[in-house]
Chain A
Amino acid sequence: MPTFVYMTRCDGCGHCVDICPSDIMHIDKKYRRALNIEPNMCWECYSCVKACPHQAIDVRGYADFAPLGHSVRVLRDERKGTIAWRVKFRDGRVKNFLSPITTKPWGSAIPDFRNEPEPSQADRDSELLSFEPESIRLDDGGLHTLESNGLKLKEGVYY
């Protein structure tokens, strides 16, 4: 389901060009608006759809897979820290979702690695990664499991 651009909504800001991992979002040299130059190579990551500040990018469902007017639209609101999805099924049912995309103000929780001590040779030889075991809480009573937390795995499918 490759992406395409509504040229009437796009203002040519270039955010999609910047974010596309496949480097297939480019600026049309005549209209100065974005376009997907190689839809076959689009892996539907939705990065450009979410990054677009004007909601000018949409995803085209293949006709055999998503016919009859279905729609999946997304709206990423950086300032509010949320992402909203609106899924419209072929039979007209609509589902709306809203989820957080950050829990702290953007840029306020970037670790300052310049102030961290250099890793020792023992750290380098260790199989643990940087900030482990603290970051996975292995130092706090060992590995956390269902059992150690007094939980049990229930049988069957449950939510």
Chain B
Amino acid sequence: MDITTTPIAALAESGIAWADMQMYISVMIALVIVMTIADLLHKKSATYFFQAAEKADELLAAGEAESSIGNETGRLKQLSAGDKVNALVGTVAIDVATAGEFSNGPRRLVHIFTMWGFVLFVAATAIIVYGEAETATLATAWNIGAIMLLVGSWGYWIAFKVDCQSEAQSRFQIDLRKDIFSLGLMGTSLAALGWEFTGGGTGAWFNFVIISTAALFGSVYWSKFSHMFFKPMAAYNKRIIEANGTNENLPHETRDDEWQQNRHSMELLKDAPMDMGLGIKRSKPENY
């Protein structure tokens, strides 16, 4: 297996026209766009985020009006354009690029492999097909992307499928309607690398590639594919409400405040260390 080549260019030489491949990818892109919009409309995800932003503004206005509520004053803050840019940069750099929402390190790593593998693989495929030429760099990106996707998607299924990890379900129990996204990613990566490893062509592996990619991109409305569009919005929203202090009405009192340390009800913690270690989070949640 040579990672500086892909079977795509060879496919063009074997009789399948670039135009046909471009048509296939265009159909896939159209499916993703149409189904994602349908999914957003159906689930009202965009409406939810606009409502959440409005609610945060209302909380901010109400909190500022009631400046008499002791330590509420000074905690709330109208965000400047710079603060919003900071939130945006944090969202892109941490929440999107490195899957910052996951507190479980290995699961976060698996997500990073899957996401970046998918992006590399899809982008390289599109550039090769629409450019009608393959370079060693593009081919390497295609192969590395497919390998990362394989490691991430299969690693997730085997080690981190959360309903198995948290609820003792069998990994072999497949609900096609719910697992189609994971299976589509697993199938696409396996099919692409199998196709490459067996020398390309239009045989069984090629058909496997077509079937698995069609399943992945053709099921966007029913699968969780569109999470990659609304998750960044959720992360941005979370950063904004944390920065402006409203934080969905969550408590903000902390033992770090000297005022809190001296309160009567905190007397029992007066001589205790500031870091008490981990309690229930010491063990992984797999006690069913």
Contact = CB atoms under 8 A, between A and B. Distances in A.
B163 A86 contact: no
Interface in B214-247: 223-224, 227, 230-231, 234, 237-238
A144 interface: no
Contacts of B178: 29-30
Interface residues of A, number: 51
Contact of B276 (A9, A79, A92, A97): A79
Contact of B166 (A18, A85, A92): A18
Interface stretch (A98-106, A117-125, A131-139, A149-157): A98-106
B272 A103 contact: yes
B269 interface: yes
B44 interface: no
Given A29-B179, A53-B281, A105-B276, A17 B251 contact: no
Given A31-B227, A80-B255, A86 B280 contact: no
Contact of A86 (B48, B227, B252, B286): B252
Nearest to A104: B272
A32 B102 CA distance: 12
Interface residues of B, number: 59
Contacts of A79: 275-278
Contact of A11 (B101, B269, B280): B101
Nearest to A97: B253
Nearest to A25: B166
Contacts of A105: 272-273, 275-277
A81 interface: yes
A27 interface: yes
Interface stretch (A38-46, A60-68, A70-78): A70-78
Contacts of B66: 92, 94
B276 A102 contact: yes
A30 to B, nearest CB: 4
B2 interface: no
B254 A73 contact: no
B285 A14 contact: yes
A88 to B, nearest CB: 6
Interface of A: 8-9, 11-15, 17-19, 26-32, 51, 53-55, 71, 73-75, 77-82, 84-86, 88, 92-94, 96-108
7 contacts: A11-B102, A32-B163, A78-B280, A80-B256, A86-B249, A96-B251, A96-B253
Given A13-B162, A17-B285, A19-B285, 7 more contacts: A17-B288, A30-B224, A73-B249, A100-B266, A103-B272, A106-B278, A107-B277
